């Protein structure tokens, strides 16, 4: 079993839809959770960072962490064509913050 | 603030050669991590440097090495290149000291022929 599992998609939605992206993980020591967005041939861009459990909102983006279920989510409201990219979840544990473990990424396409 | 910069952006090498990639972190950031990204394996951690010391290392062979300088700039070296080393090599910086958020550069795309 991989440490972090993420559905690769592709996921195609109409403009304005609510998008839900998810990752599951197996290592209960993970405490730091991040979502990155990566456009084609670019480096990953940090979207959201959450420490331990709970929700965090930033504009159209909401990140949720459920440590009891080892499950994290990213919601995108009012999706735009410019949101079309690959979304990567990443996580790390105390003492190894510099070692991010990534999911394989979900490719999202938002159609006008 | 300027972001993370990586040079060169593209590189073509022949099997058996060696290569050195460079990374300049965000000003004030002391931690630099390196990752390899391939379509099959995704993003995999290579190593992390903090204050010129390797703090963490991933599961890559000894052909992959790195170092960090006193100004926090970092280099990674791959010796005896193999075809399977073709990948996007990404550098990420973080303020360090227990902070997990990392900010990535644009990457160096290495092609081994």
pLDDT band at A8; cut points 50, 70, 90: confident
Residue of chain A whose Cα is closest to the Cα of B100: A97
pLDDT digits (tens, 9 = 90+) for B43-71: 999 999 999 999 999 999 999 999 999 99
Q: Do A98 and B105 touch (CB under 8 A)?
A: no
Nearest to A99 among B56, B103, B109 (CB): B56
Q: A96 vs B56: CB contact, 8 Å cut-off?
A: yes
**Which candidate from B42, B90, B99 shows the least CB-CB separation from A97?**
B99
Residues 6+ apart with CB under 8 A from A23: A4, A5, A6, A71, A72, A73, A89, A91, A103
Residue of B nearest to A42 (CA): B106
Closest CA to A54 of A68, A35, A38, A37: A68
B106 → chain A, closest CA residue: A43
For range A91-99, the mean pLDDT: 85
Range B6-30 average pLDDT:
97
Nearest-angstrom CA–CA distance, A56 and A48? 8
Two tokens, residue B109: 């795309």
B interface test, pick of A4, A94, A97, A101 with most B CB neighbours within 10 Å: A97
Q: Quick one: pLDDT at residue B57?
A: 93
Strand pairing of A11-14 and A106-111? Answer: parallel
* pLDDT per residue as tens digits for the range A17-72: 999 999 999 999 999 999 999 999 899 999 999 988 889 999 999 999 999 999 99
**Cβ contact B26:B2 at 8 Å:** yes
- What pLDDT score was predicted for residue A1? 66
Q: Whose CA is closest to A100, among A59, A62, A44?
A: A44
Q: What is the mean pLDDT of residues A8-12?
A: 92
Task: Determine the distance in angstroms separating the CA of B27 from the nearest CA of chain A, rounded to an integer.
Answer: 17
Give mean pLDDT, residues A95-101: 85
Residue A48 CA neighbour count, 13 Å, CB half: 24
| Strand ranges for A1-112 from DSSP E | 4-6, 11-14, 19-25, 30-38, 45-51, 54-58, 61-66, 71-76, 85-93, 101-102, 106-111
């Amino acid at each position: 079993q991989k440490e972090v599992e993420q559905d690769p998609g592709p996921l195609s939605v109409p403009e304005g839809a609510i998008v839900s992206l998810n990752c599951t993980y197996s290592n209960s020591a993970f405490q730091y959770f991040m979502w990155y967005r990566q456009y084609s041939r670019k480096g990953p861009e940090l979207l959201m960072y959450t420490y331990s459990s709970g929700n965090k909102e930033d504009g159209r983006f909401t990140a949720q962490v459920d440590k009891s279920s080892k499950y994290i989510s990213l919601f995108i409201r009012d999706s735009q064509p410019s949101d079309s990219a690959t979304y990567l979840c990443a996580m790390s544990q105390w003492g190894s913050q510099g070692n991010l473990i990534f999911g394989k990424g979900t490719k999202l396409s938002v159609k006008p | 603030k300027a972001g993370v910069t990586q040079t060169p952006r593209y590189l073509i090498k022949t099997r058996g050669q060696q290569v050195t990639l460079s990374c300049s972190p965000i000003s004030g950031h002391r931690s630099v991590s390196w990752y390899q990204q391939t379509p099959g394996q995704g993003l995999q951690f290579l190593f992390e440097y903090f204050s010129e010391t390797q703090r963490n290392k991933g599961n890559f062979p000894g052909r992959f090495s790195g170092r960090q300088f006193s100004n926090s700039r970092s280099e990674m070296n791959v010796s005896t290149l193999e075809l399977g080393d073709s990948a996007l090599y990404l550098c990420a910086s973080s303020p360090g000291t227990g902070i997990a958020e990392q900010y990535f550069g644009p990457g160096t795309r290495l092609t081994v022929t």
